[in-house]
Structure 1
Amino acid sequence: MGELIIDFSNWIWGWPLLVLLLGGGTGLFFYSGLIPFRGFIHAMKVVGGKYDDPNASGDITSFQALTSAIAATVGLGNISGVALAIGMGGPGAIFWMWVSAFVGMATKFFTCSLAIMYRGKDSSGHIQGGPMYVIEEGMGVKFRFLSIIFCSAGIMGLLAIFQANQLTDVVRIVLLKPIGLDYGAPTRWALGITMMLMVAVVILGGIKRIALVASRLVPFMVSLYFISVLIILFKNSTEILPSLSFIIEDAFTGQAAMGGAVGSVIIMGARRAAFSNEAGIGTAPMVHGASKNEEPIREGLIAMLGPFVDTIIVCTLTALTIMVTGVWQSGEKDGVLMTLSAFEIGIPGLGKYFLMAAVMVFALSTMFTYSYYGHKCFNYLFGADKADYYNYFYLITIVAGAVASLTVVMSFVDGMYAIMAFPTMISAIYLAPKVKAATKDYFERMKNME
Structure 2
Amino acid sequence: MTEFLATINEYIWSNALIYLCLAAGVYFSIRSRFVQVRQFPEMIRLMMSGEKSPSGVSSFQALTMSLSGRVGTGNIAGVATAIAFGGPGALFWMWAVAFLGASTSFVESTLGQIYKTRDRLTGEYRGGPAYYFSKAMAHTPAASAFKIYGFIFAAVTVLACGLLLPSVQSNSMASAMHQAWDISEWTVAVGTVIVLAFVIIGGVKRIAAFASIVVPFMAIVYIAVALVIVIANATELPSVIRLIFASAFGADAAFGAIIGSAVMWGVKRGVYSNEAGQGTGPHSAAAAEVSHPAKQGLVQAFAVYVDTLFICTATGFLILSTGAYRVFDGESATGPVLAEGGALPKDAAVGPAFAQVGFDTLWSGTGATFVAVSLAFFCLTTIIAYYYMAETNLRFLLGKYAPIPVPLIRGTIGSNITLLLQALILVSVAVGAVSTATDAWTLGDIGVGLMAWLNIIGIIVLQQPAYKALRDYERQKKAGLDPVFDPHALDIPGATFWETYRRTTDKDHVNTKM
Q: TM-score range by the shorter chain?
A: over 0.9
Name 1:399's counterpart in structure 2: 430
Of the structure 1 ranges 235-244 and 208-217, higher mean CA displacement relative to structure 2 is found in 235-244
Percentage identity across aligned positions? 31
Q: 1:59 to 1:235 in 2, by over 3 A?
A: same
Instruction: Note the residue ranges of structure 2 that are not aligned, 5 or more in a row.
Output: 138-142, 326-339, 404-413, 482-514
CA contact (8 A) 1:89 1:257 kept: no
Q: Distance in 2 between matches of 1:138 and 1:144?
A: 9
The structure with the largest helix share of the pair is: 1
Say which SS state the counterpart of residue 76 (structure 2) adopts: helix
Q: Distance in 1 between matches of 2:131 and 2:472?
A: 23
Name 2:366's counterpart in structure 1: 350
- Over the aligned positions, Cα root-mean-square deviation in angstroms equals 2.0
Higher radius of gyration, 1 or 2: 2
Residue 146 of structure 1, CA deviation:
2.1
Residue 58 of structure 1, CA deviation:
3.8
Residue 333 of structure 1, CA deviation:
5.0
Name 1:74's counterpart in structure 2: 71
CA contact (8 A) 1:111 1:280 kept: yes
Q: In the TM superposition, what whole-angstrom CA distance separates every residue of 1:351-393 from its partner, at most 9, and x where no partner exists?
A: 2222222111111111221110111122222342226321221
Name 2:393's counterpart in structure 1: 377
Name 2:469's counterpart in structure 1: 438
Residue 410 of structure 1, CA deviation:
0.6
CA contact (8 A) 2:233 2:321 kept: yes
Name 1:154's counterpart in structure 2: 157
Which has the bigger relative contact order, CA under 8 A and spacing at least 6? 1
Q: 1:143 to 1:122 in 2, by over 3 A?
A: farther
- How many aligned residue pairs are there? 438
Residue 171 of structure 1, CA deviation:
1.2
Q: Distance in 2 between matches of 1:208 and 1:289?
A: 13
Q: 1:150 to 1:346 in 2, by over 3 A?
A: farther
Amino acid of the structure 2 residue aligned with 1:173: Q
1:175 aligns with 2:181: yes
Q: Distance in 2 between matches of 1:293 and 1:58?
A: 11
Residue 123 of structure 1, CA deviation:
7.1
Name 1:337's counterpart in structure 2: 353
1:125-274 maps to which residues of 2 (within 5 A)?
Answer: 126=123, 127-139=125-137, 140-158=143-161, 159-176=165-182, 187-253=184-250, 260-274=257-271
1:283-322 maps to which residues of 2 (within 5 A)?
Answer: 283-322=280-319
Q: In the TM superposition, what whole-angstrom CA distance separates every residue of 1:415-448 from its partner, at most 9, and x where no partner exists?
A: 1211111221122211222221221111111111
Residue 10 of structure 1, CA deviation:
1.9
CA contact (8 A) 2:110 2:296 kept: yes
Q: Distance in 2 between matches of 1:203 and 1:438?
A: 33
Of the structure 1 ranges 212-221 and 253-262, higher mean CA displacement relative to structure 2 is found in 253-262
1:8 aligns with 2:11: no
CA contact (8 A) 1:95 1:248 kept: yes
Equivalent residue for 2:112, pick from 110, 115, 125: 115
Residue 144 of structure 1, CA deviation:
2.2
Say which SS state the counterpart of residue 304 (structure 1) adopts: helix
Q: In the TM superposition, what whole-angstrom CA distance separates every residue of 1:253-307 from its partner, at most 9, and x where no partner exists?
A: 1869998232221111110001100000000101111111231111101110011
CA contact (8 A) 1:72 1:365 kept: yes
1:34 aligns with 2:50: no
Q: Distance in 2 between matches of 1:346 and 1:74?
A: 24
Name 1:424's counterpart in structure 2: 455
CA contact (8 A) 2:246 2:252 kept: no
Amino acid of the structure 2 residue aligned with 1:8: I
Instruction: Note the residue ranges of structure 1 that are not aligned, 5 or more in a row.
Output: 177-181
Residue 407 of structure 1, CA deviation:
0.9
CA contact (8 A) 1:47 1:63 kept: yes
Of the structure 1 ranges 73-82 and 156-165, higher mean CA displacement relative to structure 2 is found in 156-165
Amino acid of the structure 1 residue aligned with 2:429: I
Runs of 4+ aligned residues of structure 1 deviating over 3 Å after TM superposition are 120-127, 254-259, 330-333
CA contact (8 A) 2:85 2:261 kept: no
TM-score of the two chains, using structure 1 as the length reference: 0.93
Equivalent residue for 1:388, pick from 404, 411, 418: 418
Residue 149 of structure 1, CA deviation:
2.6
Residue 412 of structure 1, CA deviation:
1.0
Residue 349 of structure 1, CA deviation:
2.4
Amino acid of the structure 1 residue aligned with 2:295: R
Q: 1:121 to 1:142 in 2, by over 3 A?
A: farther
Amino acid of the structure 2 residue aligned with 1:48: M
